[in-house]
Amino acid sequence: MSMRPAGDGEVPGETVRVARAAFPKGSLAIRLRDELGVLFTDEQFADLFPSRGRPAWSPGRLALVLVLQFVEGLTDRQAAEAVRARIDFKYALGLELDDPGFDFSVLSEFRDRLAGADGGRGVLDGVLVAARAKGLLKTAGRARTDSTHVLSAARELNWLEMVAETLRAALNALSRTAPDWLAGVSEPDWFQHYATRIDDTRFPASRAKRAEVAERIGRDGMRLLAAVFAPDAPDGLRDLDEVEVLRQMWVQHFHLVEGEVRRRDPKDRPPGAMRLVTPYDTDARGSVKRDTMWDGYKVHFTATCEPDAPNLITNVTTTLATVQDRSMAETIHTQLAARDCLPVEHWVDAGYPTAPALVSARRDHGIALHGPIQADNSAQASADSGFTQDAFTIDWDSQQATCPGGQTSTTWSERLSQRGQPVLRVVFSVSDCRPCTMRQACINTPNTKRPRELRLRHHDEYHALQRARTEQQTEAWKERYKVRAGVEGTMSQAVQRCGLRRSRYRGLSKTGLQHQLTGAAINLARIDAHLTHTPRARTRTSHFAALRPADQGTVSGAK
């Protein structure tokens, strides 16, 4: 399809007349069109369409339909019907009253084009540019970021269901591609075990019987893979996506032991960042955060937090579920810089700030990154006794450390931490540590041949950590940090209004598109609330919780 340009951007007169009569107080779609004008132009999406071919509906208007769809929680059919039948949608899109709209399948096709080109960022950018032009976006002050888990669109499977469904999916794909060949290589009992959905199967309750079922599934998968990769197999079978998923799944979970197929031990399986959890969403990963376990993804929202302007989402980043927050600060800052949305202060929770992040945020972007810093995890700090790193004097120019007893270190070398970060290994002499009268408070081991050893960050990171830990002990910083809690309202709004908790689509790219559209939709809703002077919702507290004495903390798990 080629792009069909929209009109001149003006709302037809008859559409204006009818919309004003039908909505004398306006509606969200009407107010946003009046305040922000045309959010998306066709030229923004020109690269998604060929220059020749069947004309397509205006991509600028389709982008707005997608955002309004998320604002109101509509399905594709409902969104297409709203364009055809609702006056306020026609007003927002600048359509004639008799415009028939489009078939609902057009939305799915357009999303595919956006996902393939990372076009979701352009949709969010369009809203931010319009808001900035109207003075509704203020980015030079404070911003806050948090992440939340997102469930995969595919149903969660236990291990037996996962491997059995992987084999069944491969058999179905091969049946479509080479039915005669598959009929010749299939074992007779395959039709009994894999012809229907695995969730219709009742697996045995005993562990021994379930192990037998697992080995049978493993053997059947190995036989099928051997047949597919045999020299006389039809061309193209091994290139099928379902066959490749089967191969990866079997490599991850089965191996041959003395010629027999056996399940791999947990220690022999790949790490979570590589391990498949379902054959129907190969980008989904399993992860754990405190008491939450899920298969899917993770999304990071960054929003402004100014009292005299709507709190708008300025960045959305979607990752695999196994990507940890501490690796995301630099990525988020780079994306904010590309949008010209860098804040002066960036407030985050304990998962984000690390020594490198504190330094790079200040050095590369001029941002003061604020968040609880991980405490000193040395044995002395953990035991709350003895000499921690703070008790040592560091001479960076001479590359030496001096202990509380006055002795200087003998070794200063580069190392990598357990997380792969560059650190300094500083070691004192055994001859100085063994007779030291303060040894028991300094070295947490009875081994007299072991000297005191420090693992230090490099100069800038070390001092950044020291400053942050000192500042965070003050009451003034604790009071200022309360602003970060407001990002929980953004997460709640995204979950309750836009269905953020579960992905609508399969795959990282389309899930990321969903999250960009969610961010754009929340921004439009917040701009409309600002225009109508709708007060922000207050934090909900139950009547009984309000009676709690001030000297009692919050009960674990209660909100």
pTM assigned to the model:
0.89
Give the pairing type, strands 2-3 and 55-56: parallel
Give the pairing type, strands 345-347 and 142-151: parallel
CB-based contacts of 70, cutoff 8 Å, min separation 6: 498, 517, 518, 520, 521
Token output for 246: 């089967």
Per-residue pLDDT, averaged over 404-420, amounts to 89
Per-residue pLDDT, averaged over 152-178, amounts to 95
Q: Give CA–CA dist 456/192, Å, rounded.
A: 62
Token output for 100: 């028939």
- The model's pLDDT over 259-309, given as tens digits with 9 standing for 90+, comes to 899 999 989 999 999 999 999 999 999 999 888 999 999 999 999 998 888
Amino acid at 69: Q
- The model's pLDDT over 338-397, given as tens digits with 9 standing for 90+, comes to 999 999 999 999 999 999 999 999 999 999 999 999 877 666 666 667 788 888 999 999
CB 440 within 8 A of CB 456: no
Q: Give CA–CA dist 281/297, Å, rounded.
A: 11
- pLDDT grade for 444, boundaries at 50, 70 and 90: confident
pLDDT at 55: 57
Per-residue pLDDT, averaged over 316-326, amounts to 96
pLDDT at 3: 43
- pLDDT grade for 2, boundaries at 50, 70 and 90: very low
